[in-house]
């Protein structure tokens, strides 16, 4: 019940495309859903996060869509750029407890 399922495992888009990465969770006690971006040799860096009281959050080119009833959330990257090529992890936590990460999506944005 602690698991967070992420898909796809890898994704290739052209520059300007809109990659979408999806995550699903089981634990209804989760109340914090961040997305992390990780470049090779670096630690995960927070990109954007949402709480279940809203269905969408935008920060720059990054948007989280959240569907509480379906227990799913997704990351959309508008106007993707080659510099967005990285591994993206969704995560979830509840009541300040541990962050549970998804399996990661390796995104490649071709020029």
Partner 1 sequence: EPEVTQTPSHQVTQMGQEVILRCVPISNHLYFYWYRQILGQKVEFLVSFYNNEISEKSEIFDDQFSVERPDGSNFTLKIRSTKLEDSAMYFCASSVSSPLHFGNGTRLTVT
Rounded to whole angstroms, the Cα distance separating 100 from 80 reads 26
The answer to the question of residue 54 lying near partner 1 (CB under 8 A) is no
Out of 22, 65, 103, 108, the only residue in the binding site for partner 1 (CB under 8 A) is 103
- How would you label 35-58 residue by residue, b for 16+ Cβ within 10 Å and e otherwise? bbbbeeeeebeebbebeeeeeebe
> CA 21 to CA 13: how far, in whole Å?
12
Q: How far is the CB of 14 from partner 1 (least distance, A)?
A: 25
Residue from 1, 43, 53, 83 in contact with partner 1 (CB under 8 A): 43
Site for partner 1 in 13-32 (CB under 8 A): 32
Tokens of 104: 């990661």
Q: How far is residue 101's CA from residue 6's CA, in Å, rounded to a whole number?
A: 9
Tell the smallest beta-carbon distance from residue 92 to partner 1 (Å): 11
Please tell me whether residue 101 binds partner 1 under the rule CB under 8 A: yes
Choose, by CB under 8 A, the member of 34, 73, 75, 88 that binds partner 1.
Answer: 34
Q: Please give the residue ranges that form the binding site for partner 1 (CB under 8 A).
A: 32, 34, 36, 41-46, 49, 89, 91, 93, 96-104
């Amino acid at each position: 019940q602690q698991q967070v399922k992420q898909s796809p495992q890898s994704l290739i888009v052209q520059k300007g495309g809109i990659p979408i990465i999806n995550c699903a969770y089981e634990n209804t006690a989760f109340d914090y859903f961040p997305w992390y971006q990780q470049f090779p040799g670096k630690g995960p860096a927070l990109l954007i996060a949402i709480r279940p009281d809203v269905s969408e959050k935008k920060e720059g080119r990054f948007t989280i869509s959240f569907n509480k009833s379906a227990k799913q959330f997704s990351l959309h990257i508008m106007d993707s750029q080659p510099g967005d090529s990285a591994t993206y992890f969704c995560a979830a936590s509840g009541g300040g407890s541990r962050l549970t990460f998804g399996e990661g999506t390796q995104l490649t944005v071709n020029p």
